Amino acid sequence: MAGIVVVFDFDKTIIDLDSDNWVVDELGATDLFNQLLPTMPWNSVMDRMMKELHEQGKTIKDIEQVLKRAPVIPRVVPTIKAAHALGCDLRIVSDANLFYIETILNHLGISDCFTEINTNPGYVDEEGKLRIRPHHDFHTSSHGCSSNTCPPNMCKGLIIERIQASLAKEGKKRTIYLGDGAGDFCPSLKLKEQDFVMPRKDFPVWKLINENRHLIRARIHGWSDGEEQQQILLQIIKAITIEENQILSTDCCKFQTIPINTVHEALPKALPLP
């Protein structure tokens, strides 16, 4: 099982909403947020919103309490624990921020399940104010992504390419990527034939993948809710295990591969298979 890496988006993939909107709405700053949004990139707006909330007397503890109330996708916590227990390497690639994600994962008791969190830096400064910085510093240079679906502060495709390079050195072979938003399309393009992408049905990445099937090399299995996410992810992990065991059980003196349909046959057909 050491060969499987499962990459989760965070907003609308682990929690069941957008964490930025949730914090802004719950702390009563929606109107100001809507005024600022047309004037600067989203990531910059959120940093500005944290300054405004601080000046209104909102504390870090207030933000933490709001985050701990964020609704979680049903069954995602046991799903994450199960995948971790099976030996998968779990990681997060998210356009939220580190403070939000760590606060929620710690609250849910699953922070130890993840080996890596790739997101926008979020930290408390010396004044007790939450600061949110871009993952890629777009103020100095562009991240150079050509997919037209990535925001200026983060190209998840570049992050996946970095992860893939490190996995090759570690001998890890298969990636399963779960996401929902338009920003999850670019990393889907980077996945290889032996990988899997799990787009959330009827969300932006689902639409983009369906419109660009010819560009996707990974096997596609959509999910709509926590029950379906759990069922499909654990079935993929099981199917990969069966395939790997079959390969290991062959004569060591012969080179033999298992047909690509082996994994397909053990999975529900969420989308027509290529």
Angle CA(187)–CA(188)–CA(193) in degrees, nearest 5?
A: 120
Contacts of 100 (CB under 8 A, 6+ apart): 19, 20, 23, 67, 122
d(CA 185, CA 207): 10
Q: Is 25 a catalytic residue?
A: no
Q: Which of 210, 63, 202 is nearest to 130 (CA)?
A: 63
Catalytic residue of the set 9, 20, 180, 184: 9
DSSP 30-68: HHHHHHHGGGS-HHHHHHHHHHHHHHTT--HHHHHHHHH
Q: Is 18 a catalytic residue?
A: no
The torsion of the CA quartet 145, 146, 148, 153, rounded to 10 degrees, works out to: 10
**Beta strands 4-8 and 196-199, pairing class:** unpaired
The answer to whether residues 7 and 163 touch, using CB atoms and an 8 Å cutoff, is yes
Q: Which of 153, 169, 38, 162 is nearest to 95 (CA)?
A: 153
Helices (H) and strands (E) in the chain, counts: 11, 8
Catalytic residue positions, numbered: 9, 11
